[in-house]
A and B are shown apart, each in its own frame.
Chain A
Amino acid sequence: MSDHAPANRKVKTVIDGREIEVARDTWALDAAAKLKIRIPTLCHHAALTPYGACRLCVVEVTKGKSTWLTTACDLPIREGLSICTNSPAVLAARRMTLELLWAQAPASEEIQALAREMGIAKPRFAARGDGENRCILCGLCVRACEQLGAGGAIGFTRRGVERTVDSPFGGQATLCIGCGSCLAVCPTGHIRGIDRAGQRRMSTWHTEMEMAACESCGALFAPLRQLEHLRPRLAEHIPIVKVCPACRRAKAAKETTLPARPGAALIRNTRK
């Protein structure tokens, strides 16, 4: 939903022939979702600002006498719009978009799967570069990284056909906290990371950082920098536990089991 929507004004719109009333400036994609109409997306994430990069969510919009193609994820619903999500023009445009994305990111299994789902058997255009690319420049990783509030460790770099996402100057990303959100949101499997020898390695960003070891079992469970990042976000009385989640569960189980139930302990302590 848009965060610049003014005072909840409702507007009516028609999507694939069905009428729906939504708050003005609701994204067309969300309005369609309310009607359970699924529009394919790659660069969309419910928690991140729309970016309109992948063009897969293309729809046909009609207002008065004019009709045009546009992206649904960043189209705010206004009075008098009628939207079609599956007209021949939409399907043709979407198909072409996907064929171009396939050429851009030929190594991405996700793109290949999507293409097959749309009935595209083989790539039409020559693969770009060495055929190993998986990035479609959708910017989800960059937006997720910004959203995290650690300062934005990665960004777009270079222009035109040379554009890529990278760490500053292709070196260690000094603001990276190693959380792996970029990896989780990437729709095409471009970003690689692995934990090795006490380090979290975000290899796509040429970045390594130290992991915290669980004080109980020794497992390396979280990047030290991420734990530091969380400190000011927690209430003061809540400690950052330097124990891995599995050991926290074991501890919680032990502390709540007989005879150390909290109630029992309370009564015993008063008997000095």
Chain B
Amino acid sequence: MARKPRVLTVDESRCLACQQCMTECALAHSDAANLVEAMRSGQAQPRLHVEAVGHFGMPIQCRHCEDAPCAAVCPTEAIYRPAPHSPVLLDADRCIGCRSCMYACPFGVIDMAREGKAVVKCDLCIRRTAQGEEPACVAGCPTKAIQFRELDDWLAQRRHEAAKLVAAGNETPNPSEKG
């Protein structure tokens, strides 16, 4: 299945810091049918965090690093990448709870599960995306601040934005060409 790689993108100017993404994430990663049940079971635990930055909120989650440090330090191969463009995944059954990944992750996005037996991390909602759904955080965001986009599209947009800045005379792409 040659699907184009997709990434989570965040437009923080749209983030209300309502934390709906965290709630949806917690629910999506529990076996419970609804939030009340999930909370009661003690299972509900989000894989992303909305961080406060000045007046902004900024959801932070796993970057699915190309050369993932968490996978490199894992002594049991519990954290692994099954295929080149796949998310970095965790097999909780293989986790022995040593927390090495928590200390290796540059973004601080791996947490110990509440019951203390294994860690939890973002899996880019592979179960949902396999069925054509969006990741839970994306589906839940009321302002579309978090989106799940094709990498190529996203890069094209960023190039376009940069070009616009340059055209408006605000930025210069390459100082050596300034004559």
Residues of A at the B interface (CB closer than 8 Å) are 45-48, 144, 147-149, 179-181, 183-185, 221-222, 226-227, 229-230, 233-235, 238, 240-241, 244-250, 252-254, 256-258, 263, 267-268, 270-272
Contact = CB atoms under 8 A, between A and B. Distances in A.
Contact of B95 (A47, A240, A256, A271): A47
B154 to A, nearest CB: 11
Contacts of B162: 263, 267
A253 B67 contact: no
Interface in B74-132: 75-78, 91, 93-100, 102-111, 116-118
A267 B165 contact: yes
A245 B105 contact: yes
Given A181-B97, A185-B97, A249 B75 contact: no
B117 A226 contact: no
Given A245-B110, A252-B108, A263-B158, A222 B96 contact: no
B75 A147 contact: yes
Contact of B117 (A184, A229, A230, A263): A184
B175 interface: yes
B97 A263 contact: no
A180 B58 contact: no
Contact of B58 (A45, A149, A181, A256): A256
B159 to A, nearest CB: 9
A254 B12 CA distance: 11
B93 A222 contact: no
Nearest to A260: B53
A236 B5 CA distance: 28
Interface stretch (B22-30, B35-43, B135-143, B166-174): B166-174
Given A247-B108, A253-B53, A257-B56, A267 B94 contact: no
B98 A267 contact: no
A174 to B, nearest CB: 18
